[in-house]
Structures are given as structure tokens and as C-alpha cells.
């Protein structure tokens, strides 16, 4: 006999909306990020078990970048979900090979390490298809890993649900932090922290440790417990905010400048369009070309497409030949005036600017 368990006793309030989105099949890709104790992995494991028991054709795969980490993470997490839902008698667990099987239908949860993504393969399924894919600690993967694995599993079925769970890395420029800022109609990005979790779920000691870190090392607390991108400390600039700049916002910019740093083989060429808000001491960078081995014709074509009024471009004056090549292609050039210490001065100036 299966015991009725209220989901409100298992899912933190911050995940209620995600739960409804899953029930209504609103999205395919669910990027769940947050700090320690946010219960995102617990939520995912419960949703996979419930989803499979409701859909007799649904199977699942849970992945870690390193195979050796599977048993102590996603495998144990899914076993926990089966137990707290009161359905342990309906599932069979195996370690060799590592899998979980829903006894009444033969549906399976398989586990894969992605040390070599191209060799990640599905298993022969008794019925149905892989509906659920879970990347735990997705920041350990590379973007190309994700593409390759999704191409393997996201086929042969009418609906898919892909979970990506992670604690955001410190650096805003880390690929996974950049990825969640990309808008897609089939994607939901959700951020959670321990602050929305019932205190009794976490325990007194967890809260004591969080409070102590907040008082003694607030930046570490923000990163570890709140899941904020706080920078690495090794970056040149720590006052950078990466966010979407809307077209309406760009229309208000009245101090736009265009700069060009030459590069070709090892170092990429970089073209930047920015606005300087002198009153608020902020720079807004809203267009870039960043490429290795770029030809003059291709560069001129892209600059003209962006710079329709042919406003002046300020390139590095150290490469007069490159500047002449670009000028001959119709780009207005105004080489930068550089003097002793200009680079250091520029870095110091940018460090004094405020975040947007």
C-alpha cells in the first residue's frame, strides 16, 4: 500500500512555481541554481520519481562529469526521494550496473559519468524513452559536453525535461553563469537559497554556520549560501555587472564610443561599442566583436552593419598599417592617442567606476 505524502512537506515554497511549470509542460530546460541548503537537488529527485510514476513511457538519466561521483550524489539523492515519497517497495535499486527500476513497468533511471561525453550512450530500455535528463553540478561540464549528450538523449519521445543544477561559480564570466542569461522560450531559470527552506529541514547547526560566515566573511557567505556571483579576486575588474541591456535603454545613450584593439593569430581582435554615463560614473558595453584570425573585409562589413552612421572608430595607434586597411574600406578612423602609462591609467580609471 502506498502512503499519501503531501508535497508541501517535501518541496520548499520557492519551488512551487517550478513544480506547476513541470505539471503543465511549460518548458524543456530547467536551470536550477542557488546556494547551499537551497534543496534544488532534492526537488529535482522528487520530480523525476513522481514524473516517471505518472508517465509509463518516461525513463531518466542522471549525470555527473566524473563517474566516481555518481553513487554519493545523484544515486543517493534519488534513493532518498523514493524513500520520502513512501514508494520504496515499488522500486528496485542496483549498484552494478547502477540503476533504479520501477517494478510495475520496468522503467529505469540510468546513471552516466561524462568524462568522455562522446562515449555517453543510452541503455536498451524495456519501454518508452529517456524523458528526464539531470546534469548535477552542471558547471563541471563544458558547453560542448551538454550539446553532445543532449543530442544523444533528446530524441524518440514527445516531451523532454532537462534539469541543470549547480551552485553558481564566483566569476560572472564562467560559462554557466553566462549561459543562464541567454533567453530561450523553452527555458526556465530559477534561483533559490536556504532562506526559503523551512528551518527544521536544515537543522540548527546549518543555520549557525551560515550566520557565522555571514558575520566573519560576508563575501564568502554571499557566494556559498546565497549563490551570488562575487568574482574571483583574481580578475582585473571586480566592479562588473553582466546583464541584458534593452534596446529602449540603448536608445537613451548619448555618449557612445567605438574602440578597436588589433589582434589576429594568438590574440583575438576586439571591437567594442560602449556608452559612458559621466554623471553616474558607469560604462555600458552593449556590442562586441571578439575573434581570432578575422580578415579586414569581414571586420569592415560587421562594423558597417553595427555603425550605420559611420561614427568614428578609435583603434590602437600602434598598428598604422591595419588602420589604413580599415580606412580604405570606408571606416572612419581616429587612432587613439597613447602616452607613457596610459594602460595603467586606463585600468585605474575603470576600477573607480560603479556597477550598473
Q: What is the pLDDT along the chain (356 residues), one digit of tens a residue?
A: 556 778 889 999 999 999 999 999 999 999 999 999 999 999 999 999 999 999 999 999 999 999 999 999 999 999 999 999 999 999 999 999 999 999 999 999 999 999 888 888 877 788 999 999 999 999 999 999 999 999 999 998 999 999 999 999 988 888 999 999 999 999 999 999 999 999 999 999 999 999 999 999 998 999 999 999 887 555 677 788 888 899 999 999 999 999 999 998 778 999 999 999 999 899 999 999 999 999 999 999 999 999 999 999 999 998 999 999 999 999 999 999 887 777 777 887 888 888 76
Judge contact between 87 and 1, C-beta under 8 A.
no
Cα–Cα distance measured from residue 314 to residue 336, given in angstroms and rounded to the nearest whole number: 6
Burial 340-355 (b: 16+ CB within 10 A, else e): eeeeeeeeeeeeebee
CA quadruple 53, 57, 61, 62: dihedral, nearest 10: -20
Residues across the chain = 356
Alpha-helical (H) ranges within 135-229 are 143-153, 175-179, 199-202, 204-216, 218-224
CA distance 97 to 83: 21
* Residue 83 annotated as catalytic: no
Distances in Å between the Cα of 42 and the Cα atoms of 25, 78, 80 are 20, 8, 8
> Which residue intervals of 55-171 are DSSP H helices?
76-84, 143-153
- DSSP symbol at 207: H
47, 136, 137, 224: the catalytic one is: 137
Q: In this structure, are residues 207 and 198 in contact, taking their beta carbons and an 8 Å threshold?
A: no
Round to whole Å and give the CA distance between 167 and 227. 6
**Strand pairing report for 187-192 and 256-261:** unpaired
Q: Are 163 and 133 in contact (CB under 8 A)?
A: yes
Amino acid at each position: 500500500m502506498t502512503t499519501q505524502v503531501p508535497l508541501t512537506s517535501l518541496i520548499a515554497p520557492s519551488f512551487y512555481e517550478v513544480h506547476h511549470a513541470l505539471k503543465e509542460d511549460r518548458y524543456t530546460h530547467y536551470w536550477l541554481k542557488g546556494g547551499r541548503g537551497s534543496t534544488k537537488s532534492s526537488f529535482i529527485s522528487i520530480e523525476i520519481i513522481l514524473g516517471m510514476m505518472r508517465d509509463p513511457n518516461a525513463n531518466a538519466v542522471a549525470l555527473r562529469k566524473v563517474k566516481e561521483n555518481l553513487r554519493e550524489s545523484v544515486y543517493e539523492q534519488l534513493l532518498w526521494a523514493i524513500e520520502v515519497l513512501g514508494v520504496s517497495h515499488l522500486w528496485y535499486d542496483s549498484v552494478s550496473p547502477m540503476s533504479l527500476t520501477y517494478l510495475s513497468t520496468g522503467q529505469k533511471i540510468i546513471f552516466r559519468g561524462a568524462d568522455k561525453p562522446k562515449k555517453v550512450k543510452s541503455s536498451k530500455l524495456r519501454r518508452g524513452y529517456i524523458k528526464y535528463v539531470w546534469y548535477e553540478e552542471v558547471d563541471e561540464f563544458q558547453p560542448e559536453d551538454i550539446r553532445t549528450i543532449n543530442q544523444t538523449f533528446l530524441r524518440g519521445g514527445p516531451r523532454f525535461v532537462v534539469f541543470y543544477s549547480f551552485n553558481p561559480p564566483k566569476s560572472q564570466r564562467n560559462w554557466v553563469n553566462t549561459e543562464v542569461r541567454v533567453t530561450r522560450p523553452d527555458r526556465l531559470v530559477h534561483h533559490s537559497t536556504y532562506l526559503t527552506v523551512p528551518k527544521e529541514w536544515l537543522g540548527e547547526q546549518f543555520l549557525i554556520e551560515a550566520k557565522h560566515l555571514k558575520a566573519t566573511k560576508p563575501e564568502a557567505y554571499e557566494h556559498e549560501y546565497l549563490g551570488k556571483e562575487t568574482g574571483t579576486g583574481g580578475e582585473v575588474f571586480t566592479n562588473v555587472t553582466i546583464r541584458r541591456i534593452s534596446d529602449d535603454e540603448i536608445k537613451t545613450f548619448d555618449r557612445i564610443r567605438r574602440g578597436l584593439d588589433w589582434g589576429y593569430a594568438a590574440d583575438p581582435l576586439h571591437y567594442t561599442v560602449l556608452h559612458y554615463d559621466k554623471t553616474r560614473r558607469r560604462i555600458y558595453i552593449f556590442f562586441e566583436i571578439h575573434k581570432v584570425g578575422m580578415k579586414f573585409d569581414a571586420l569592415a562589413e560587421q562594423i558597417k552593419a553595427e555603425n550605420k552612421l559611420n561614427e568614428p572608430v578609435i583603434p590602437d595607434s600602434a598598428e598604422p598599417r591595419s588602420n589604413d586597411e580599415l580606412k580604405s574600406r570606408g571606416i572612419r578612423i581616429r587612432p587613439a592617442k597613447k602616452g607613457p602609462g596610459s594602460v595603467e591609467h586606463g585600468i585605474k580609471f575603470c576600477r573607480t567606476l560603479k556597477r550598473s
